[in-house]
Amino acid sequence: MFRALVLDQQDGKTQAQVRTLEESALPEGEVLVAVDYSSLNFKDGLAITGTGKIVNQFPMVPGVDLAGRVLESADEAFSPGDAVVLTGWGVGERHWGGMAEKARLKADWLVPMPQGMDARTAMMIGTAGLTAMLCVMALEEGGLTPGAGPVLVTGAAGGVGSVSVAILAGLGYEVHAVTGRPETEAYLRGLGAQALVSRESMAAKPRALEGQRWAGAIDTVGDTILARVLAETCYGGTVAACGLAAGFSLPTTVMPFILRNVRLQGVDSVMCPLSRRQQAWQRLARDLPAAALGEIGHSIGLDEVRDYAQRIVEGQVRGRVIVDMSR
């Protein structure tokens, strides 16, 4: 028997409840994992509250992330006792996910725990942190270097934003952080942000081109803010877009692309190929300052996930929330 957060539908509404289940209820997969930690991402919030059409099959165990130990494996790549981490691949959306004490998964989805990293740290990073690293890699591939000038991060006090700020600052970039929560200033400066930019000022509709401010940017919110970021990006700069916390529209023009040679790079962590994932995890083990993680992450138990899901959808969660199965 094991505990799991289970989503069901009643009268068209999503209900979330912690239940005790039999192992035989788990879906098919080659590897049975004892989950030590999961984490709460924006997408989990949408799934658990039923706000977004993330889950179509019920019952569903949410949790796009998990870290734990292999209990049984029918795949020779894994043996009992191996420490593993999983993010994405539709887990917690189409296949039962990490918010449970046990999960049965495809071997191809699992990444061996990076050297020197433990399960708790891996979940403080989670999908949000992996995405942040993939965004940093996209900026580097666009030619960005620490001396190039200010780099902007939007939705900075959220999960992807916080980890992005910490990685960029650790690598020596001058990080400017956009937030709608001025009370997070000390936190963001603690992660290494050199300046704060109000969300309100970035949400004003931009002209086709604005003054050149950013050598590069990581955008987690989309919509008018991303349009403004593009209009303010310096000649030859790269913008990595990964999120839609403000909306999925992009009310922009071609001007930043054709007159300023700006590159807009989309970033997806869900279907990201294994080799790039492994590269990103290795980079996270090396480039994300350990002290920053202590600031970014805090733990909750499975029983608290429902409340936190509502809070993350409302943009009220700071940093990363990890779900500790032993609590």
Residue ranges in contact with ligand NDP by CB under 6 A: 41-43, 127-128, 131, 155-161, 179-181, 199, 220-221, 225, 242-246, 267-270, 312, 315, 317
Please enumerate in sequence order all residues whose Cβ is within 8 A of that of 49, keeping only pairs 6 or more positions apart, or say none: 14, 309, 310, 313
Give the position of tokens 């539908």.
9
Are β-strands 233-241 and 214-219 bridged in parallel, bridged antiparallel, or unpaired? Answer: parallel
Q: Nearest distance from residue 233's CB to ligand NDP, in Å?
A: 18
Question: What's the gap between Cα 203 and its chain centre?
Answer: 22
Class of residue 110 by CB neighbours under 10 A (exposed 0-12, middle 13-18, buried 19+): buried
Which CB atom, from 191 or from 225, has the smaller least distance to ligand NDP?
225
Q: Nearest distance from residue 241's CB to ligand NDP, in Å?
A: 8
Q: Which two tokens stand for residue 237?
A: 């700069």
Give the position of tokens 């991303």.
226
Give the position of tokens 């709608």.
180
Which CB atom, from 20 or from 249, has the smaller least distance to ligand NDP?
249
Q: Which residue is closest to ligand NDP by CB?
A: 158
Which CB atom, from 11 or from 183, has the smaller least distance to ligand NDP?
183
Q: Nearest distance from residue 257's CB to ligand NDP, in Å?
A: 21
Q: Nearest distance from residue 242's CB to ligand NDP, in Å?
A: 4
Would the CA dihedral through 62, 65, 71, 75 be positive or negative? positive
Q: Nearest distance from residue 192's CB to ligand NDP, in Å?
A: 15
Which CB atom, from 121 or from 220, has the smaller least distance to ligand NDP?
220
Which CB atom, from 82 or from 185, has the smaller least distance to ligand NDP?
185
Which CB atom, from 121 or from 179, has the smaller least distance to ligand NDP?
179
Which CB atom, from 17 or from 201, has the smaller least distance to ligand NDP?
201
Instruction: Return the amino acid letter for 206.
Output: P
Please enumerate in sequence order all residues whose Cβ is within 8 A of that of 5, keeping only pairs 6 or more positions apart, or say none: 16, 17, 18, 19, 48, 61, 62, 63, 99, 100, 302, 305, 306
Q: Nearest distance from residue 226's CB to ligand NDP, in Å?
A: 10
Question: What's the gap between Cα 316 and its chain centre?
Answer: 15
What are the C-alpha distances in Å from 123 to residues 48, 62, 154, 181?
Answer: 18, 15, 22, 24
Q: Nearest distance from residue 38's CB to ligand NDP, in Å?
A: 13
Q: Nearest distance from residue 80's CB to ligand NDP, in Å?
A: 31
Which CB atom, from 160 or from 284, has the smaller least distance to ligand NDP?
160
Do residues 238 and 143 touch, judged by C-beta distance below 8 A? Answer: yes
Q: How far apart, in whole angstroms, are the C-alpha atoms of residue 170 and residue 214? A: 18
